[in-house]
Each structure stands twice: as structure tokens, then as C-alpha cells.
Chain A
């Protein structure tokens, strides 16, 4: 049976997810003259968003209800989940490739969990792992090679190009992390609003 989601719950969830999408798209670049920019999620984050919304709804973490509100909730959940992956995935490069594939595999693990408590724990593990790699490991790549450029022999530029192959790091101002954390808090609030009463894995609210 498809669980009922009231209009008030739909509104509350959509509001926090819209706020999560808005905050998660804001970037404050540390270089250049751009005061701020809004960068919506890309193809990889969007696909991961669809996969994870399926996985979370399959485990009963999120519910869509019926009718027009179903479409509304699906749209906002996909947008907010994709934005969360935009925040958590590192910039393009081989590191992102590996992590995106790992996150897709982790979605299969979430689907295989017997209950929603275990599924949400796995969601947290995926989020923390991605965050640690992006915010603790990737900034190490920012260190310049220090190699010189001598005429035809561009050692420094070659070293930087190799670095960009792994991750094209673009530093952000510290406030960006606070804004993106706010976005993830809004996303968690959406999960919390939909948590409700205990529900079984087949989606029926008990």
C-alpha cells in the first residue's frame, strides 16, 4: 500500500529540500573577482541523486504519497540529493571517478539493508567518507609542485597538469563550508520530517 503523505508534510519537506538545494549550489570562490556563484549539480551528481532517491524510498526512509504531491516530492528529493552529492564529491578528475562509482555501489548496499535504521546509517557512512576525502585529502593537491619552467622544459606546468588529472582543485572561501553544512542539515531535516512513525520496508506506515 502506498503510504499517505499529508499536504503539510509535503510542504515542510519541500521547503527544507528547496533550501538545501539553494544553499548547496552556492559557491564562494577563493580566487578571482567573483563574489559568489550558483553552480547547480551536474550529470554525475544528478544520476547519483536519482539512484539514491530510489534506494531511500525502497527502504522507506522517504515517502512520496500519491497524486500531484508525489511528483513534487520526487522532484525536490532528487534535486536536493543531487545537490548533496555536488557538495560531497570532489572536483572532476580520477578521484571523482573512483568515488562516484563507489557511491553508486553503496546505493546497492543501502537497498540490501533489512531496515531503515541500517539504511540511514549506511547513508551517513557514504556522506562522511566522501566529506573526509573531499575536505581533508583533496586540499593536499593544492600544494604547488615547486618545479621550475625552463624554456622548452615546462616541468612546473607538467606537474600541475598531472595533478589536475587526479583532481582539478578549486579552493573556496571558508564560509562556503558553513553554507554547505547548512544545506546538508536541511537535507537531514527533510529525512527527519519524513521519518515519522515506524514503517516497514514495504513502505506502509505502521
Chain B
């Protein structure tokens, strides 16, 4: 039997929620959860959402980490190629490279077997090569300007990280060693040398 509202009280329209109303509350919960998830995780790509879910859920984490690492790395590489001026601020690209490195390291830790581990290491080496080369270009400039020792030392550290990977091929190691030699030569107190 429906209750009668007390005098002066509002009519009680809330007694029995209909299925449609329950569906509305469920939709509100989904919308709110979506907003919170978007605000916290800040995805920038539909595929990134799927990969992050796979990483968080622990489902095929190796491939999800490799995909995400490749996505960050390819974006940073494309940005470097499109850069008009060499003295542009590259902090965004370096942040993307750091993200890619974390994903490839996650992939290494999730690798099952030698093949998967080597694949992740090769991607890491390519990343360190591009990163160290970009830092090398940042640290060297016009012939009349002194090279930036701090930047070049960070470039050398990246090259050493790449050379420390155990399962890369000989030609890849040789390419990275050549870059490291160029970086070592650029670390000089004299402008012209």
C-alpha cells in the first residue's frame, strides 16, 4: 500500500525504482567510471587503451608492452624527422622515448624464452641509438660554439646502456660503438676539435 506523505512534506516519488531507472543509475556509474579512468590514465590512442588494459589485467603482457613501446618509439622518431630546427625543445620526444624504454624493459621482464627476450633487446638497442644520436646532435652545434659536455655525457651513458645489452647482433653493436666513439670525440673542452 503506497505511503501518504506527511503534511508539508514532498510527495514520495522514490518508493520503487523501475528497471529503466536502475539502467539509468548503471549508465551514470559507467559514465563516471569512464571519466575517472580517462582523467587518471590519459590515453591518447584507442589502441593504447586496449594495450593498457592488457598490461593491467596481466593478459599477454609481453606483446602489449612491445606494442606500446613501439607506439611511443615510432611517434618520437617521426617527431625527430619532422623537426625543422635542431635547437627546438625536444622534451616531449625524450619523454616518449623514456616511456618506450619502460615498456620495452617490461617486455623483457615478461619475455618467455630467448627469442622474445632478444626481440625486446633489439628494440631497446634501436631506441638507445636514436636517443643517444638525438642527444649527440643536441650537444654539438656550430664549429665556433663549445660542445655541451653534460648533454654529451648523457648521450654516452645511453650508448653504454645499449652496448650492455647481451643478445644484440654484431652489426648492431658495431653501429652503436661507432656512435659512442663519435660522442667520445665530441666531449672536448675546445670549440673546434
Chain A contact residues, CB within 8 Å of chain B: 4, 6-8, 11-12, 14-15, 18-19, 21-22, 25, 32-38, 40, 149
Asked if residues A11 and B24 are in contact (CB atoms below 8 Å), the reply is: yes
Contact with A along B89-104 (1 / 0, CB 8 A): 0001000000000000
Asked if residues A37 and B44 are in contact (CB atoms below 8 Å), the reply is: yes
How many residues belonging to B are interface residues under a CB distance threshold of 8 Å?
26
B86 CB → nearest A CB, Å? 12
Identify which of residues 3-18 in chain B touch chain A, using a CB-to-CB cut-off of 8 Å: 10-11, 13-14, 17
With A15-B31, A18-B31, A33-B75 in contact, is A6–B13 under 8 Å at CB? yes
Q: Is B32 engaged at the interface, CB distance under 8 Å to the other chain? A: yes
Question: Across the interface, which residues of A come within 8 angstroms of B42, CB to CB?
Answer: 37-38
| A-contacting 9-mer, from B33-41, B112-120, B164-172, B183-191 | B33-41
Asked if residues A18 and B14 are in contact (CB atoms below 8 Å), the reply is: no
13 CB contacts below 8 A, A to B, read A6-B10, A6-B13, A6-B14, A8-B13, A11-B24, A15-B24, A18-B32, A18-B35, A21-B35, A22-B35, A22-B38, A38-B39, A40-B39
Roughly how many angstroms separate A35 CA and B46 CA in the complex, as a whole number?
8
Interface hub of A35, A38, A40 (most chain B Cβ within 10 A):
A38
Roughly how many angstroms separate A73 CA and B31 CA in the complex, as a whole number?
15
Q: Is B50 engaged at the interface, CB distance under 8 Å to the other chain? A: no
Find the A residue at minimum CB distance from B72.
A33
Roughly how many angstroms separate A53 CA and B32 CA in the complex, as a whole number?
20
Question: Across the interface, which residues of B come within 8 angstroms of A19, CB to CB?
Answer: 31
Find the A residue at minimum CB distance from B30.
A18
Asked if residues B27 and A15 are in contact (CB atoms below 8 Å), the reply is: yes
Q: Is B25 engaged at the interface, CB distance under 8 Å to the other chain? A: yes
